[in-house]
Chain A
């Protein structure tokens, strides 16, 4: 454990010993060599594996990352990158990818009804429109094979056995039946279960016509035990890329929005994902129902984000300063207990408070306020205060930790100097401690602002955005913030049909707002820093 003396002395002592190390590059270099070799081994393995899997995206990224890594650690130029690169790689793979993916989705119509690829949509439509022919019986079914070809042998209620393949309609045969199961069919092998399972895709997609007339339908099975007569009402023409409804004769062809559309404008339900250009960005502004609540929500979002940062920081700082006195007995206990709210998962904290703030039965009203009937979460003004209050409880330990840590970094000589100058503790705090503290904590305050700007979980768990605006035509309320409004517009909260494309476009816009404000704030901070 570094006592004050030992830490202060350590560097000087160490330097003496380092002298010998410095002349001898070998140990450090060897460590580097081994590490990079391991990384390269891992990377080359990845490249080979990606080649095997035909994962070209991963392959390309691996090659680039590997080349950069080797360049960084063996070239003399890229000194800072040697330290930044490890974190940067993770950042690129796991964060920038997510951003890029969201950016990509923003230009598509991904969402309910446009969930997958075109071929999957066609497949789904065909499956949904194949039905059992009404009034037909069900058959005991056995899968049979002849060479590579599969067929079905069906046993009807009269005990007759018929067999057929995709090409060959059902024909009566003289087969062996044992205990209600066809056990042998002339000209075919009865397939055992293992074989059936190995070829289950073929089995479930096999249709054996029941007669020469295709309109009579065909036999299919889903479990290789029972067969039903079914017919399709929708047919796909791969060459023309159209679907035809055989009962009405309507022809559906694909349109620009990833759906099959008939000439009269009617569409089939299942669509697929397509690029829609900037459409999501423009639709965001055209829904007039959101115009009125938007401004209120915008103002509250800022008030909430700024208010949360200010209250949590001030309380955290205050407590950090209060407990920064070594003479105080029980400091450890105080500090540990103050971390308590932070040691509990955030969603639980919000739920816990939602219960305690219940108007009639909550602990606050019933026990602390002796049976008061205060609508903490139902009155527009009180609900806002409650949200801020709960967020203060959830957030002050973080600020307390940061400030406690940051207070340790203040150079002791400056503090001594202030003390010798005879400055009052408050003055010393304001003019010496505070500015120094702000230099290291401002970036965190900015990022805390950004976090709270998008703090969906708290709002969702505590008030659900309520109490509702009584004059708005959309389900939004006084404590809704921008991100919860976006969830609502795009249906991500489950209140309407999901539109991930729109949600992505809107979240990019929110990102531009938050990022822009933060960038401005950083510029200000830099000026502040230079002043010091």
Chain B
């Protein structure tokens, strides 16, 4: 017993010295924490790898002019949405994050994102980009890029842009390559890439309100949707569509000149260096306009940011400049959202091509119900293509199932 008493005394002494030593460390670490405001404060921004350098470049200007440090935290793009939603309420989330416009419904529903007043700046951006970040008349993000898919053509294999699906298949066969056209599909389907083909049959996914926003009434069923499903089955039987073609395989095959056409977006371009490319509208398969989804990339401000003023200042006055938007363009080849920057970037015919196709694109729905649609949709498309199920019946069942998932 005596031993332990003396031991306690020793420990208490030790503890006090330790406390004294480390309390110094404590305060210094507080200074560097992201929550501290005032001069020398730090703005924390989540970025993914593609965007990191461009954001850091803009941040340098910001730091030079305002003295505010900017810390970019590299995240996996896939993790950002979940992490942002779960970490913002703890007060330890970032001040700003990059993100896509279709997260908007979920972010506002969880109350983790603050509105941004673009003010007169709004007019300097492409309409679709601001529109995409708008919900109930309130803008929630600063857009920097608009992306959509188009028909990428290897001009060495096909000189002219086809206007209809059949033209394209004919041109593809005439080229004598292994595939007339490459469309990434996969065993789970790829409704995003197939969307322009579906809209060419007049079957959009959700109904749109007058102001262009979506409501939760499904529109992909009915005769038009079933006609699209039937067409998928035909093309699958003919071998032009194939679920074995994944993104990887399509990319590799196009790169190797195994097809004159691939349906895809600007993110593919890095893989196609050395090929002579042109981008044109996706040919219509069902007679109507083939409208791809437009996805808008932008920056969100956290609703719990301790540096809201800095965050808005950074976005409104430093990320909305032509230089910053062009730097982001260089990083990902996506068409800038700022009109002036988009005009500059359009000097590149491929970018101009994507931009032209994008003029006809519809924003991807950002309503939370959209999350419930993808899986059913893709799997049903895949089943129609492989012939595993009767296309009409499968499509009808899909519409009922999605309805159940949304309503349930």
Contacts and interface: CB of A to CB of B under 8 A. Distances in A.
Interface of A: 33, 36-38, 40-45, 48-49, 70, 74, 112-113, 115-117, 120-121, 123-125, 127-128, 130-132, 138, 193-194, 196-198, 200-201, 203-204, 222-226, 228, 230, 269-270, 287, 289, 355, 358-361, 377-378, 464, 466-468, 470, 473-475, 491, 494-497
Interface string B364-408: 000010011011100100010010110000100100110011001
A497 B4 CA distance: 57
B19 A112 contact: no
Contacts of B112: 115-116, 124
Closest 8 CB pairs of A and B: A124-B111, A44-B15, A116-B89, A360-B244, A40-B11, A41-B14, A200-B309, A115-B110
Contact of B110 (A270, A378, A464): A270
Interface of B: 3-4, 7-8, 10-12, 14-19, 22, 26, 37-39, 41, 66, 68, 85-86, 88-89, 106, 108-112, 114-117, 119-120, 136-138, 187-188, 242-246, 248-249, 303-304, 306-310, 312-313, 316-317, 368, 371-372, 374-376, 379, 383, 386, 388-389, 394, 397, 400-401, 404-405, 408
Contacts of A121: 111
B371 A495 contact: yes
A127 B115 contact: yes
A359 B14 CA distance: 67
Given A44-B16, A201-B308, A222-B116, 4 more contacts: A48-B15, A113-B109, A224-B313, A495-B375
A507 to B, nearest CB: 17
Contacts of B88: 116
A223 B312 contact: yes
B314 to A, nearest CB: 9
A123 B303 CA distance: 9
A347 to B, nearest CB: 12
Given A124-B303, A473-B404, A74 B7 contact: yes
Nearest to B41: A197
A45 B136 CA distance: 51
Given A44-B12, A116-B89, A204 B375 contact: no
B392 to A, nearest CB: 14
B111 A40 contact: no
Contact of B303 (A127, A130, A203): A127
Contacts of B7: 33, 36-37, 74
A222 B316 contact: yes
B108 A269 contact: yes
Nearest to A269: B109
8 contacts: A44-B12, A44-B18, A116-B111, A194-B38, A225-B313, A270-B108, A359-B243, A378-B386
Contact of A44 (B11, B37, B41, B106): B11
A64 to B, nearest CB: 17
Nearest to B140: A128
B18 A41 contact: yes
Contacts of A194: 38-39
B111 A473 contact: no
Nearest to B372: A496
Give the dominant DSSP class at A's interface: mixed
A270 B309 CA distance: 24
Contacts of B15: 40-45, 48
Contact of A228 (B119, B244, B405): B119
Given A198-B39, A225-B313, A270 B109 contact: yes
Contacts of A494: 371
Given A49-B19, A123-B303, A138-B119, A289 B309 contact: no
Nearest to B17: A41
A130 B139 CA distance: 11
Given A74-B3, A120-B303, A223-B316, A497 B310 contact: no
Contacts of B18: 41-42, 44-45
B8 A40 contact: yes
Contacts of B304: 120
A36 B11 contact: yes
Contacts of A128: 108, 111, 115, 136, 138
Contacts of A70: 4, 8
A226 B249 contact: no
B310 A197 contact: yes
B269 to A, nearest CB: 23
Given A36-B11, A355-B248, A222 B117 contact: yes
A201 B89 contact: no
A504 B362 CA distance: 37
Nearest to A192: B39
Most chain B CB within 10 A, of A360, A475, A497, is at A475
A124 B111 CA distance: 5
B66 A200 contact: no
A204 B309 contact: yes
A203 B311 CA distance: 13
Nearest to B16: A44
A37 B389 CA distance: 71
Contacts of A466: 187-188, 379
A126 to B, nearest CB: 10
Given A45-B19, A123-B111, A496 B39 contact: no
A233 to B, nearest CB: 10
B115 A44 contact: no
A495 B244 contact: no
A151 to B, nearest CB: 16
A138 B41 contact: no
Contacts of B4: 70, 74
Nearest to B11: A40
Contacts of B66: 193
